[in-house]
Amino acid sequence: MAALRRYQTVVSDSALWEGFPFRSGDVVLSPPAKCGTTWMQMLCALLIFDDTEFGRPLTEISPWFDATTYDTAATLAMLESQQHRRFIKTHTPLDGLPFHEDVTYICVGRDPRDVMLSFENATANIHPDAIPAGGLDPEVAQPPAPEPIDRFWLWADSDLVNDTTSFGVTLANLVNHVRTFWERRDEPQVALFHYADLKADLPGELRRLARVLSIEISDERITELAAAATFDHMRGRADELAPGVDHKLWRSNENFFRSGTSGQWRGLLDSAALDRYHRRVAELAPPDLAEWLHRP
């Protein structure tokens, strides 16, 4: 078995997965940041519990296992105590995760330009008290340039970032993450979803997820459960569903679900900027993956 690639950021370390005691049927949810992780956690919870009420915060049911901002031993004990089918959050690419034939690995892709803008909104919403001990470099905790277009190019032109001084959110990191799933998407335990498809046909994608998880469910029940996972409905339950509510991570839990829309980048990038952006994408992704990521 090939050695796992180690991924580190200011808030996570994939080395924590080594020796993890998997169970048959476990689900590992591994989208890049701001690509719909919480949305996919919600969809898994709806299917696994066949209920819209969970009785405790989603972040406790589906913890971010390799987050260094949590007590790993406590997270592991909580997972070991769970009697239901486990679905575990991470932002580690597939080549950094132990791979087991009886575990399902799910990734969600999104138009990278929307990811960049969503991440900016998220960082502006982080509560000052939630900054990790020792603080962050000011260029990590705050926008690194005064103009939005300058910040966009810093994000787009940065190479792979794999260290403990940043959040690791760059175009190169996003493409690398999705590519590790893209290259294994035909394997039965690997599933790749797209944010745009979730927006366009949430019941259909929930039905597809049920098939991935081998869960039998009626079309009528799919419709009922999907209604609980619309963006507006989740925003209304932000205190239960937003990540990090147990750590008081956000200034506003509702603002974590700020808009969920796509295409806001159109107000930022003119035709020349788009040409430059697509040249950069071509350096990072094969044409089929680039086309898939940017699907309307």
Q: How far is CA 81 from CA 13, 73, 74, 77, 95, in A?
A: 23, 12, 11, 6, 27
What is the rounded CA–CA span in Å between residue 130 and residue 2? 36
Residue 91 falls in the annotated catalytic set? yes
**Backbone torsion region of residue 136, taken as left when φ is above 0, otherwise alpha when ψ lies between -120 and 50, otherwise beta:** beta
Q: How far is CA 290 from CA 84, 152, 175, in A?
A: 37, 18, 9
* Cβ neighbour number for residue 251 with a 10 Å cutoff: 15
Structure tokens at 243: 């990540």
Block residue for tokens 């909104």: 121
Residues composing the chain = 296
End-to-end CA distance of the chain: 38
The single residue of 84, 91, 278, 294 carrying the catalytic annotation is: 91
Burial class (CB in 10 A: 0-12, 13-18, 19+), 37: buried
DSSP reduced 3-state for 186: coil
Which residues are annotated as catalytic? 91
